[in-house]
């Protein structure tokens, strides 16, 4: 083990009154909430890319982080230094999972053979680290967006040679994910879309995407991978328009290719707001359609129109999402992955700990608030009363397969039905939410 985070002890739960900045105030992994421990509900993971690959650069300035592996003499040395620091971090933070792209753990290499060889070497070392620490892999994914060959997409590229390269990368990353005991496999389509329709055959790309996604699912079953295949919705950036715009769009795409029972979604709050939705809306949609998979927990800057990947410290936002998620049983193979990065001015290594500790505590506080709301039952009771008419004679008649549109209209006319409005009590319900956030 390295001592990149030397001077920081293992992070423990010390309660709300602690003055230790390197302690959890609310995340008590063994505390039982709604029949499960916090650890079982939240299944938190640290992402490799923002935490250990990004150097703090932005489009207007060079990197601000001085990590030892950023100046390594070779890709292999960088891989090893980064991995040592990562598992030191995972262990000290005490969260159970991590996530990676293939190039995060193997390096950005020019040829498929180079990437394949280095990924195999890195995977052996990752397996050893997991065995030593007990940290597990929540999911892996292939990076089909950084290399210049993927400027027009991976599985939707107009050049079949590029697509074949992408397929090879997916297979090798799926094999690696399975070898490491990963519980899901993600496809993030950052470039599966277009910048202009002037050079794009949209239907060709969608047909190719659906055909190849079906082959991914077939390969999952062939190798005996038990985890979920996940697609991550996002409307745009880096592409002008991405085919996986939001959860509803992804579901329609999956239905088109008969994959709605095979593929689920990995939801990100920052992507939800970019699509014009709330985090809670995307969760509720995924739950209602039966495609809820996992969550990349972060937030955007509401003054910006792009993906800023900040740590989500909005307890109310997370609470509203959890009251949609928890009644469905919560997450099974999925988890809350901190797809978030410290700000480029937060340049010290310990800032990574502050970000993740704060993120974990916000999740815990939101979990407690959501559990309180669910246990009180006031909101659910209000909803049940608001919709109770659909359980009565008229509601059942309207929805019956035996009645036509004309039947319903005739009945309304005959009975002199003149529907009246009842208050939605939004302000009262919002007050109830706030009362449970402590």
Positions annotated as catalytic residues are 101, 104
268 labelled ligand-binding: yes
Residue 359 and residue 40: Cα distance in Å, rounded? 17
How distant is the alpha carbon of residue 61 from its chain centre? 28
Which phi and psi angles does 280 have, rounded to 5°?
A: -60, -40
232 labelled ligand-binding: yes
Residue 11 and residue 353: Cα distance in Å, rounded? 9
271 labelled ligand-binding: yes
Q: Are strands 241-242 and 193-194 parallel, antiparallel or unpaired?
A: antiparallel
Q: Are strands 44-47 and 136-141 parallel, antiparallel or unpaired?
A: unpaired
Q: Are 235 and 250 in contact (CB under 8 A)?
A: no
- DSSP-derived letter for residue 52 is I
Q: Are 136 and 97 in contact (CB under 8 A)?
A: yes
Maximum distance among all alpha carbons in the chain? 84
CA-CA-CA-CA dihedral for 357, 359, 362, 366, to nearest 10: -130
332 labelled ligand-binding: no
Residues in contact with 147: Cβ distance below 8 Å, sequence separation at least 6, in sequence order: 108
102 labelled ligand-binding: no
CA angle 336, 126, 5 (to 5 degrees): 70
Helix spans in 264-310 (H): 269-274, 279-289
Tally of CA atoms within 13 A in the half-sphere of 406 that contains its CB: 0
- Residue 381 tokens read as 């009771």
Closest CA relative to residue 147, chosen from 98, 106, 200: 106
| Torsion region of 46: left, alpha or beta (phi above 0 gives left; psi -120 to 50 gives alpha) | beta
Which residues belong to the annotated binding site? 232, 268, 271, 296, 307, 309, 339
Which residues belong to the annotated binding site for Mg(2+)? 232, 268, 271, 296, 307, 309, 339
């Amino acid at each position: 083990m390295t001592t990149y985070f030397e001077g920081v002890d293992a992070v423990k739960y010390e309660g709300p009154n602690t003055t230790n900045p390197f302690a959890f105030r609310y995340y008590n992994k063994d505390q039982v909430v709604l029949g499960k421990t916090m650890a079982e509900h939240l299944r938190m993971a640290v992402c490799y890319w923002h935490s250990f690959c990004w150097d703090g650069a932005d489009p207007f300035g060079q990197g601000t982080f001085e990590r030892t592996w950023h100046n390594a003499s070779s890709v292999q040395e960088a891989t090893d230094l980064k991995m040592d620091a990562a598992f030191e971090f995972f262990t000290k933070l005490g969260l159970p999972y991590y996530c990676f792209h293939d190039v995060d753990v193997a390096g950005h290499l020019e040829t498929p053979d180079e990437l394949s060889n280095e990924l195999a070497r890195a995977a052996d070392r990752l397996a050893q680290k997991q065995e030593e620490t007990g940290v597990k892999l929540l999911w892996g994914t292939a990076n089909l967006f950084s290399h210049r060959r993927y400027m027009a997409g991976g599985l939707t590229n107009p050049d079949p040679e590029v697509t074949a390269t992408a397929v090879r990368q997916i297979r090798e990353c799926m094999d690696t994910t399975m070898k490491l005991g990963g519980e899901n496999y993600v496809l993030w389509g950052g470039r599966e879309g277009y910048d202009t329709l002037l050079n794009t055959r949209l239907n060709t790309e969608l047909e190719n995407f659906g055909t190849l996604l079906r082959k991914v699912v077939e390969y999952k079953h062939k190798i005996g991978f038990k985890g979920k295949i996940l697609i991550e919705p996002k409307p745009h950036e880096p592409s002008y328009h991405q085919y996986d715009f939001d959860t509803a769009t992804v579901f329609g795409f999956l239905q088109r290719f008969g994959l709605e029972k095979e593929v689920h979604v990995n939801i990100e709050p920052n992507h939800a707001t970019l699509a014009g939705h709330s985090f809670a809306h995307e969760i509720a949609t995924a739950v209602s359609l039966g495609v809820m998979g996992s969550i990349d927990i972060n937030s955007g800057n509401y003054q910006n129109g792009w993906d800023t990947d900040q740590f989500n410290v909005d307890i109310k936002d997370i609470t509203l999402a959890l009251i949609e998620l928890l009644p469905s049983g919560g997450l099974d193979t999925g988890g809350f992955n901190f797809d978030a990065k410290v700000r480029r001015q937060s340049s010290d290594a310990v800032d990574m700990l502050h970000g993740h500790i704060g993120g974990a505590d916000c999740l815990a506080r939101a979990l407690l608030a959501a559990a309180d709301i669910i246990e009180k039952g006031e909101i659910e009771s209000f909803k049940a009363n608001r919709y109770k008419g659909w359980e009565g004679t008229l509601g059942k008649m309207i929805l019956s397969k035996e009645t036509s549109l004309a039947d319903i209209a005739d009945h309304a006319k005959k009975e002199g039905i003149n529907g009246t409005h009842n208050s939605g009590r939004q302000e009262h319900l919002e007050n109830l939410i706030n009362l449970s956030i402590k």
